[in-house]
Amino acid sequence: MGGSGRPPSPPRLRADVKSALRRVLGIDPGLVATGYGLLEGSGGGGTPAVLATGVIATSTDMAFEARLRLIHDGVHDLLVKHTPELVVLEDLYAEYKFPRTALLMAHARGVVCLAAGQCGVPVLALAPAEVKRVVAFNGAAPKTQVQESIGRLLRLPEAPHPSHVADALALAWTGLGRARTPS
């Protein structure tokens, strides 16, 4: 950091991506559990349809590289099957107490970005606090609040579980909202 002392501008979507945006895949990357949620918007507003949700799970008994391969292949399969126009994932963050967690998450994010790049799908990374502000109106919202809020926004019969799925849906919701907002 340095320079102007101003916070960085939020990432913007290219106009050509925004104009075609209807289907967004949100991904909450993690080495143990990578949550995903696919939303399809109608272009004219309204509540997006939930097309797919789930978790790509790995076992701690697996070799590290095998776990990364499983995440990559799972995301790649989702991209090929559902053909989203955008992948939205959680930006890398680190708590000073847990730097190892950030490093492990970075590996998972890397294979997600690789799969998206191989399929020609642009990636938008968003800060967790921004996503929480959008769906729960609180940048420090706990996981349960995000689950309940995204469930209400999507008019689901119950809050999505596990929290990795709720986070992925919240990411996709925020990505769709970005597409509807003029640059």
In Å, what is the CA distance from 33 to each residue of 6, 27, 112, 164? 35, 10, 13, 7
* Residue 179, pLDDT score: 74
Q: Which domains does the chain have, with CATH numbers?
A: 15-180 (3.30.420.10)
With 0-12 / 13-18 / 19 or more C-beta atoms within 10 angstroms meaning exposed / middle / buried, residue 46 is exposed
CA-CA distance, 107 to 128, in Å (whole number)?
18
- To the question of pTM greater than 0.75 for the whole model, the response is yes
DSSP 99: H
> pLDDT per position in the chain (183 positions), as tens?
334 443 344 445 555 444 446 899 999 999 999 999 999 997 667 899 999 999 999 999 999 999 999 999 999 999 999 999 999 998 877 666 778 878 888 999 999 999 999 999 999 999 999 999 999 999 999 999 999 999 999 999 999 999 999 999 999 999 999 876 555
* Residue 98, pLDDT score: 72
In Å, what is the CA distance from 133 to each residue of 11, 18, 89, 139, 146? 16, 21, 16, 4, 10
DSSP three-state, residue 1 = coil
H-type helices in the chain, by residue range? 15-20, 64-82, 99-118, 128-136, 143-153, 163-180
